[in-house]
Structure 1
Amino acid sequence: MRIGIFGAGAMADALGTRWAAAGHELMVTGRTPAKARALAGKWGGRAGQAGEVAEFADVALIAVLYQGMPAMLDTIGTALSGKPIVDCNNPVEVEHFTMTTAPGTSLAMEIARATGGHVVKAFNLCHALVWQMEPPLFDGRRLVVPYCGDDAGALEATRLLIGDLGAEPLPAGDLRHALHLEAMAAIVISLLFGGRDPYTIFNLVDAGS
């Protein structure tokens, strides 16, 4: 799969590194071109401008802090229209750990409206360190990764990408449920900022149950 990655921070690094190891072809863009080039070199991929990455991608990952999301979406424009987009971001401020989106909406829905892409919410409930695990196992069980979206093709691509990390995909409904995944992340982020171990704080879900 050709994965276009928008963002060059910790989440982009963790997920991109695992996907490159799984044999996917990657291209990355970021606010700091030098960081994007460094990641591309680490992955054996390429760095480019947003339009180039969008054209390259079979599926896109947007991994940007919520404060920088408006600028990134302006840069992307409609270049990802009709394409699968994985959204791993959380619109959570870290003073009171509340949502920054308007009531009743989610960042995933805002990305879908702005880009015209087929957005799937996934990978937003764990610290980047968890995604570096090969594979992410807790108490001998594979990490379960909830994901949600409206488009069958985008959901299937995301399911495969979750599996490539050695995790277990858990369908969580249509894109309306992204609001709930983002709210769950607010709790996780508050625990992380409170000093909880990022490897254990969300080891709560057993898909078999």
Structure 2
Amino acid sequence: MRIGILGNGGMADALGTQWRRAGHEVVSGSRSGGLREAAEHGADAVLLAVPYEVVVDVVGGLEEALRGRVLIDCTNPVGPGFRLLTAGGPAAAERIAAAAPTARVVKAFNLCHEDVWRLTPPVFDGRPLAVPLCGDDQEALSVVRHLVCDLGCEPLNAGALEQSGLLESTAALLIRLWVGEGADAQAISPPRDFSGARG
């Protein structure tokens, strides 16, 4: 695949490195240069990995270059005090979709620190990491599922893009528990047999 990455921080480097290892052609750009080139290169997918505070401006400035592109949003709208900056809505992914209405936005990869994406593969106690995805376009979701599998992870259907706020709220909670409290956030979730799910 031809993948463009908007950003040059830790998430951009970690995911880009893994996708290059998987054989994809990856071009990165930053706000200091190369964003348009990266967006235009990403014929198959574009990863949006810039700070949340600038995502709408970045995407809005690249609207034409992102036309029809699969745009993967891994951002987290979390501010000081682990506060969700989009409380009350719309979600960050929805704001991004509004700024680039012809792009096909998928929310993914936002629940883990960049160090997780550097693992080859991210497997814990013998279980591959699951990556929830939110999006409305089935073809776009299929592309992102493929990229998730290339990392050695398992994609999970987390609903339409309108559900992406749940992923962003979950990230805010996990960051608060891990960073703010030093807690084992995995301990809050019981095994599925005890979740009340049937079948």
Q: TM-score range by the shorter chain?
A: 0.7 to 0.9
**Structure 1 residue 26: deviation in Å?**
0.5
After TM superposition, what 4+ stretches of structure 1 lie above 6 angstroms from structure 2? 205-209
Pick from 30, 51, 61: which aligns with 2:36? 51
**What pairs up with 1:42-81 in 2 under 5 angstroms?**
49-57=34-42, 58-81=44-67
* Contact 1:144/1:205 (8 A) holds in 2: no
* Contact 2:132/2:158 (8 A) holds in 1: yes
Pick from 95, 100, 105: which aligns with 2:85? 100
**Structure 1 residue 104: deviation in Å?**
3.0
Pick from 97, 110, 114: which aligns with 2:95? 110
- Shift of the 16–206 alpha-carbon distance from structure 1 to 2, 3 Å rule, reads farther
TM-score, normalised by the number of residues in structure 2: 0.88
Instruction: Give yes or no for the alignment of 1:179 onto 2:165.
Output: yes
User: Counterpart amino acid of 1:180?
Assistant: L
- Aligned-partner Cα distance in 2 for 1:196–1:151: 37
Percent identity between matched residues is 46
Gaps of 5+ in 1: 34-48
Q: Secondary structure of 1:170's partner?
A: strand
Q: Which residue of 1 aligns with 2:26?
A: 26
- Aligned-partner Cα distance in 1 for 2:156–2:69: 22
Q: Which residue of 1 aligns with 2:124?
A: 138
- Shift of the 14–146 alpha-carbon distance from structure 1 to 2, 3 Å rule, reads same
Pick from 69, 80, 95: which aligns with 1:83? 69
TM-score, normalised by the number of residues in structure 1: 0.84
User: Counterpart amino acid of 1:8?
Assistant: N
Instruction: Give yes or no for the alignment of 1:191 onto 2:191.
Output: no
**Structure 1 residue 162: deviation in Å?**
0.3
Q: Which residue of 2 aligns with 1:38?
A: none
- Aligned-partner Cα distance in 1 for 2:192–2:65: 36
* Contact 2:56/2:95 (8 A) holds in 1: no
- Aligned-partner Cα distance in 1 for 2:165–2:50: 18
Greater shift, 175-184 or 76-85, is seen at 76-85
Gaps of 5+ in 2: none
User: Counterpart amino acid of 2:4?
Assistant: G
**What pairs up with 1:153-164 in 2 under 5 angstroms?**
153-164=139-150
Q: Which residue of 1 aligns with 2:10?
A: 10
- Aligned-partner Cα distance in 1 for 2:7–2:186: 25
**Structure 1 residue 74: deviation in Å?**
3.6
User: Counterpart amino acid of 2:3?
Assistant: I
* Contact 2:56/2:99 (8 A) holds in 1: no
* Contact 2:148/2:154 (8 A) holds in 1: yes
